Amino acid sequence: MAPKFCLRCANLKKVKPGFYFLLLLTCGLFVSTGCRKLVEVSSPANVETSENVYADDATAAAVLTGVYTHLSYEPIMGGTSLPCISLVSGLSSDELTLFGGATNTNTLLAQYYLDHLTPGVSNTLANTSPLWADTYAEIYVLNIALERLGKSANLTPAVRNQLIGEAKFMRAFFYFYLVNLYGDVPLATTSDYTVTSSLSRTPAAQVYKQITMDLKDAKPLLTPVYVAADAVNSSVDRVRPNRWAAGALLARTYLYNKDYRNAESEADTVIAQSSLYNLTSLDGCFLKNSREAIWQLQPVNSNWNTQDAQVFILPATGPTSISGAYNQSGYPVYLSQQLLGSFENNDARRQSWVDSVISRGAIYYYPFKYKSASLNAPLTEYTMVLRLGEQFLIRAEARAMSNDIAGSQSDLNNIRVRANLNPIFPGDVASLMDAITRERQTELFTEWGNRWLDLKRTGEVNTVMDAVAVVKRTTWRSEWQYYPLPTYDIVQDPHLVQNPGY
Amino acid sequence: MISNLVRGLGQGLRTKNVSWQKVTVKGLATLLFVVISTQSSAERYSPIVSFSGRNVPLRTVLKSFEKQTGLTFFYNNALIKDLRPVTVEFKSVPLEEALTQLLKNASLEFYESGRTIFIVKKNENLAPSLNVLPSTLSEKISVEVKGRVTNQRGEILAGATVVVRNTNKLTLTDQKGMFELKNIPLTSTLEITYQGYQRKDVQASEDAVMEIQMTVAENKLDEVQVIAYGSTSARLNVGNVTTVKAAEIEKQPVNNPLLALEGQVPGLFILQTSGYPGTGVQILLRGLNSISNGITPLYIIDGVPYSASTAAAHLFGESVVGSSNDGTGNPFDYINPGDIESINVLKDADATAIYGSRGANGVILITTKRGKQGSTRVDVNYQSGVGMMAEKMHLLTTQQYLLMRHEAFANDIASPNASSDFDLTLWDTARNIDWQNVLLGGKDKYDDAQGTISGGNENTQFLFGAGFHRETTVFPVDFHDEKGSIHFNLNNTSSNKRFKVSFTGLYMVDKNILPITDPTTAALTLSPDAPSLWNRDRSINWVPGPSGNSSWPSGSIAALLSGHDNVSANNLVANGVISYLILPGLEIKSSLGYTNSTVARVIPVPLTMVDPAIRQKEQRQSSFSNGASDSWVIEPQLVYTRNIMGGVVNALIGTTIEKDDNNGQALQGKGYSSDEQLNSLQAATTVTLISTEYSMYRYNAAFGRLAYNLHNKYLINLTSRRDGSSRFGPENQFHDFWSAGAGWIFSSENFIRKALPVLSYGKVRASYGTTGSDQVGDYTFMDLYSTISNISLPYQGTLGIYPTRIFTPNLAWEKTAKAEGGLELGFFNDRILLNGSFYLNRSSNQLIGYALPSISGFSQVSRNLDAVLQNKGWELTLQTVNISRKAFRWTTNLNVSINHNKLVSGAPGLSSYLTEKIGHPINVGFFYHYLGVDPITGVNQFADVNGKPTDNPNPNADMTQIVDPSPGYLGGLKNTITYRGFQLDFLFQFVQQPHVLSYISNFIPGYFGNNYGGNQPVGVLTRWRKPGDVTMVPRFSENYSLLNSFYYGIVSDHDFSDGSYFRLKNASIYWQLPPKWRTKASLENAKLFIQGQNLLMITKYKGLDPESMTSSNLPPLRVITAGVVVSI
């Protein structure tokens, strides 16, 4: 046996390098099996993984930029993004008339106009809850952004704070509209679909609590100045929310919840930023970077100004009945007699913010807050989301309800004077509130559903809508002040219950 | 006499045991007695032998018998050496008879024991006195033997098993082919087995070192069968593997090796999607295992995983050869069939579970040719031939066509419109053209040349091969596919046989020039009076209509045919294996593989392709796309083989590390100033990036196998694998798979041998295990962010990004549990081999898009659902040697397989469309039930949900007819007949598929202008003409009024018909030149041959071809070639 063994040794020596190489390789590889590193991949070159996105200032900021871009980009005619609220809630309430009424071939807009909404079956087709799916899609983005930003250690602290602030602000902003349009809504504050896919509806008060909390968190995180796309350098454009945008929305939230003291104080703080904000002339109000603007959206279609202008401003041919829910062209709406009738004589806003065409022997009035609606016109206007004028009206109302009659009158008259109206001095809360309500109607018409929301929060909705229903040749039911949830969601999430009346 | 024998046997033992003689004598005599009585009690099958010779030594005759029968002849040399030479003439005589005759004059007799024939001196007196049992003998007399095992070429066979018959003793040969056995009974028979060789039984001999030469197995049972990380033989395999060898592949004039498997592998459904060179091939093994994800098997070439899809060149859409899942053709178009030694299809859990997450859809192992020891050899194979359309459709002649058109106008009370009904108003109605002839009637020229040089010595072997293949198309314009390939293999073994290295490479360059649009649809739909495609000067005949625009309804076919889709591909598959034998039986090895594939396409659109009337508005453009994929894999393994407890244990552990990269881009160039510049991107004034693609895949696994083989009778095989894949989220990145298999070769049991002597081979086997599928696409689990596109004015000058899908960290593997049972039988010395398998595969954890409420942010998430998809089936193969004479041999090989697919159960979250399919095969569809034409109105009628006829069915309620288009049974029947130098092979393929989509009509019969005109199959002539007519063809109509009705018809059961077919898939005749001629030319081998593919077909299918089942693609062609094979 011994010689054989030696032979083996000799052989081993002869092939040593190869053998050891293999042995090493084998051992090394066995040890490494099951190692995560070996099955980790980098992301494809044309897209980013969330890990990379939130590890870099620029890409993290681009996520929020994406949210604003979507808001600004999605068409509002038969659209699915929140800005279409100016159009659809204008139709639901008493601001806009649909050309042809029930006979308008745009059945979607007709349903809004007639307040007869049919819950949409599919979430993919534009349906009568168009805001729902897209708004929750953005909330998902904000939730995941907040989760990742919270954990990300690589970002510049200033950027990280600003972005968390923006995300919280935006989440509050979306929930504010959801709770106002749908009543109790499921409150998704996580990106985990196993949680969010089985949520039930959260009472509105709790949703408001979340909104308030988010805004209070956001305020100190956001910079007082406006920042550029990098979320740190300052910018003349007011297209990213800043600290005062959070304050302005907070003021509105408090007002809606009848917390007048806080509403007043928040509005106070915003109005006090006179280095940033003033009431501008009526014609200058909706221009880009207007000093009235607290937050605007920048149009993202290089050939056009705002989408509102494109939809509202009627051509010489007048309004049209358009076909198909997806048709983004066409001019199906004009201002209602109720709205036109609510202007006092000599109201400069009636001249500056309303225009008309005569077509087929009839005169049609249309919103003219945004004035540029032609292709290839220079970019002069941005979509106004929050502005100083509303803050005066919020404070006027908060002060009135806190019995600060003089303070309230002063705020109200600030708005009236700008509109070339005489100051008024109603002496009691009730008449003061009447004046403020009317002022809100004429000041904030076709802007982000203010009128529709006001009607509901003040409880006036049934009285007003009963009367309007006659004009619209429809019927009104109190339950219809809340839009229906998409049937699709109710099918997929059995915990969701449809709003009554649908 | 026996004493002589005993002396002979015992010579070497004398020193060890002095008292052996008497005992041995008695023992042997008892043995003799026992054997003889056994023999007389059972009718034994006697092998047939032939021999003729004058004055030949007896020993030569016996040697020849040994060779012919595979039996071992045992005799004392001294006994026969002095005998006189014999003159005999045996012609297919039973061995028994031959021996009796041969030995009767020499006072010798014989008896058979096991597979050994003992020849002894006649002595009647001795036998009765013997009464000692043989076991006593073996206990008392033991010897030590040494031997060396080699093959016919003298190559060492290391690892051969040497078993001492009827004992538990066994050993394995070492790296030098040596073995040593101690203390074995003197008269032992040694059974030597080695994969791929016939078993050899030899009598143990103490004389020096026994030289044992093994013969390569010619029988199917003992041929080498490649399995995962190793090899075995059909006899000893516990799993289900079907092997197709080079000899069968070479007989088929195909350009894709997968196509050579058609009809040859039970359970494998192959579909050639078109008749182009470089065609798309769809492959499905044992049914669909996944509801919405990949179903292709795992392909492995020489140990290197090979991508199932071509490099990202589909960026401009599929080329005309593309198939639904393969993008541009099929990656096996870039593998030369001539380089392949064998293709092994692994099916059951035992065979595939070791591939874990990639084994669910089966595994196809491809082994390429290797250099062999021996003098340098040159093989050349050249063939040339033609391909043509196999079947044509019967379409209307101009006379019938005009009748249809005029009747349509009469029905609609209308008259032809000069600005659109060109077939009646502008074209020459006297023309009657068979467009199938014009467009598809050409001859595809087929040329293929292969050459290899191979050889080597004991330590180094090499092979170098080169191939060239050129094929044109049947179209009237020159398109062609040209492939050049090289193949090399180098093996080296160190002189001590411990260190081995092997290197193999395959490389192919393919240039495929294809039309941009398949003219098949045009051939079927062009009106028979359409004008000629080209003018006399070969310029395009645009035939302007009254408006000045061309009157060709869908553009000029000549223009389409003048467009080229240029596909260039390079493909490299390389691998190396290094191994080292650390200790006897323990080998460490590592396989290293690399593949690289690039595909580039250029699709120029010159202005000449555009109608001159609108040319000024158009600009020249050219599309460029290129894709590249490369992958590398390292698989170190430890293999240990040892005999334990009377059996052989084979253990394997290994690990796999793999990384694949894919990337590609598509660009478009515009603004060229001339048609000549279109092949270059530089000449374009504007270049647009259309899309890019990039993906990476990483994979890591550890695997092991433990096999135990006891007495070549009892077989156990356990495998396991732990897989990690980058395609899954962090929470489920790793998963374990396993299998257990067992086999029992019951024919080796003595009681079976006695009870069923006709049964020469019998095995039952069973396996169960789990496999998975990770064919879910890369990055599915990741929450990726994309840039918002279509924004012309970026927000704040920055492009925003957004998450494209929901983060699903717990995405997991689809699982397939496979159970299989098999019974394999061989009769009459394996002349009849029967192999039956039953399997039940259940795939669960299906990855499906799961609907989410929109409040989750996305309407869908990829999620594993508990839906269970089942495939259950039978496979049967029957191989028979019908006639086996020296000059004439006829063998038949039949296989049939049946698969039943069923969606067994769903789960909450399954879409309603899928929920409806529960209890049905997954690829059923829901259709209207067609009720024929309304006899009153002449319009199609369908059954509504209540069975009432309606001409306007409701899509939400009335689609109640369930149609299952999957094949019922399929199989192949192959016959091989050899007669002297001739060999004739023919392979029939049959598929039973009662409900497949057929070609009933081209659009609304009577209408002109859809597709390329208005021609129809002749079947439309049975149309409705007047109230009361009962028919299945609606009234002719020249307008759109029957449009809806037509579309309802397409989604009704009317458009499905029997697509079963029986096809002579392949036939070949080879003629081996007579030896005299060959010797003269000093050729080792020289054959002439004729081969044919898709030669005949019997089918009731309505349409061009029931295999491709499409009327928009050129069907698979009939190819006939003739060629020559020469070896020097």
Instruction: Encode pLDDT of A80-131 as tens digits.
Output: 678 889 999 999 999 999 988 877 767 778 888 988 887 765 434 344 456 8
pLDDT above 70 covers a percentage of chain A that reads: 86
* DSSP letter string, A108-124: HHHHHHTT-----S-SS
Distance CA B982, CA B885 (A): 14
pLDDT band (50, 70, 90) for residue B13: very low
pLDDT band (50, 70, 90) for residue B23: very low
CA-nearest residue of chain B to A73?
B791
Distance CA A288, CA A298 (A): 8
What's the pLDDT at B198? Answer: 83
Among B115-119, B129-133, B764-768, the minimum mean pLDDT is found in B129-133
Residues B273, B282: contact at Cβ < 8 Å? yes
Phi/psi zone of residue A101: left (φ > 0), alpha (ψ -120 to 50 degrees), beta? left
Distance CA A396, CA A410 (A): 8
Residues B599, B568: contact at Cβ < 8 Å? yes
A313: helix, strand or coil: coil
What's the mean pLDDT when you consider all of chain B? 84
Q: Report H helices in A272-404.
A: 307-312, 337-342, 348-352, 388-401
The angle, 0 to 180 degrees and rounded to 10, between the axes of the packed helices A450-458 and A461-472 is: 130
- Residue B617 pLDDT > 70, yes or no? no
Q: Which residues contact B789 (CB under 8 A, 6 or more apart)?
A: none
A351: helix, strand or coil: helix
In sequence order, the β-bridge partners of residue B761 are B826
Residue B481: φ, ψ to 5°? -125, 125
- Residue A37 pLDDT > 80, yes or no? no
pLDDT above 70 covers a percentage of chain B that reads: 92
DSSP letter at A486? P
CA-nearest residue of chain B to A239?
B796
* A371 contacts chain B (CB < 8 A): no
pTM, whole model, 2 decimals? 0.74
**pLDDT tens per residue, range B436-463:** 999 999 999 999 999 999 998 888 999 9
- Residue A282 pLDDT > 90, yes or no? yes
Q: Which residues contact B63 (CB under 8 A, 6 or more apart)?
A: B73
Residue B948: φ, ψ to 5°? -80, 145
Q: Which domains does chain A have, with CATH numbers?
A: 7-87+130-275 (1.25.40.390)
The listed range with the strongest mean pLDDT (A5-19, A373-387, B395-409) is: B395-409
Q: Do A50 and B803 touch (CB under 8 A)?
A: yes
- Residue B138 pLDDT > 50, yes or no? no
Average pLDDT over residues B821-849: 91
Residue B4: φ, ψ to 5°? -60, -45
Distance CA B84, CA B1005 (A): 91
**Shortest CA distance to B383 belongs to which of B254, B526, B257?**
B254
Q: What is the CA radius of gyration of chain A?
A: 28
| HSE-up (13 A, CA, CB side) for residue B586 | 4
Distance CA B830, CA B235 (A): 11
pLDDT band (50, 70, 90) for residue A385: very high
Q: Do B792 and A302 touch (CB under 8 A)?
A: yes
Q: Do A140 and B857 touch (CB under 8 A)?
A: yes
CA-nearest residue of chain A to B660?
A41
B983: helix, strand or coil: strand
- Residue B133 pLDDT > 70, yes or no? no
* A448 contacts chain B (CB < 8 A): no
Among B164-178, B448-462, B599-613, B627-641, the minimum mean pLDDT is found in B164-178
**pLDDT tens per residue, range B801-825:** 988 888 777 788 888 999 999 999 9
- Residue A372 pLDDT > 60, yes or no? yes
What's the pLDDT at A46? Answer: 60
Distance CA A288, CA B795 (A): 13
- Write the residue in B655, B807, B853 that is nearest to A496 by C-beta: B853
Nearest-neighbour CA in chain B from A267: distance (Å): 28
- Residue B25 pLDDT > 70, yes or no? no
What's the pLDDT at B429? Answer: 92
- Residue A440 pLDDT > 90, yes or no? yes
Question: Cβ contacts (< 8 Å) between B730 and chain A: which residues?
Answer: 36
Q: Do A47 and B785 touch (CB under 8 A)?
A: yes
The strand ranges marked E within A6-127 are 48-49, 96-98
* A74 contacts chain B (CB < 8 A): no
Distance CA A410, CA A429 (A): 14
What's the pLDDT at B127? Answer: 40
DSSP letter at B1023? B
Which has more pLDDT, B317 or A131?
A131
CA-nearest residue of chain B to A379?
B793
Q: Do A34 and B634 touch (CB under 8 A)?
A: no
Q: What is the CA radius of gyration of chain B?
A: 35
Residue B114: φ, ψ to 5°? 60, -125
Distance CA B471, CA B476 (A): 14
**Shortest CA distance to B190 belongs to which of B211, B204, B180?**
B204
Nearest-neighbour CA in chain B from A362: distance (Å): 38
Q: Return the number of CB contacts < 8 Å for A and B.
A: 247
Among A132-146, A404-418, B36-50, the minimum mean pLDDT is found in B36-50
Average pLDDT over residues B511-534: 90
* A20 contacts chain B (CB < 8 A): no
Average pLDDT over residues B738-747: 93
**pLDDT tens per residue, range B970-1002:** 999 999 999 988 999 999 999 999 888 888 888
Q: Which of A9, A39, A195 to mutate to test the interface with B (most CBs of B within 10 A)?
A: A39
What's the pLDDT at A101? Answer: 84
**Shortest CA distance to B453 belongs to which of B379, B527, B519?**
B379
**Shortest CA distance to B117 belongs to which of B161, B69, B85, B165?**
B69
Residues B369, B488: contact at Cβ < 8 Å? no
Q: Do B853 and A19 touch (CB under 8 A)?
A: no
Question: Cβ contacts (< 8 Å) between B788 and chain A: which residues?
Answer: 66, 69-70, 73
**pLDDT tens per residue, range A292-302:** 999 999 998 77
User: Do you know the residue count of chain B?
Assistant: 1128
Question: Cβ contacts (< 8 Å) between A26 and chain B: which residues?
Answer: 588, 590, 636-638, 655
Residue B123: φ, ψ to 5°? -160, 100
Q: Are strands B298-301 and B363-368 parallel, antiparallel or unpaired?
A: parallel
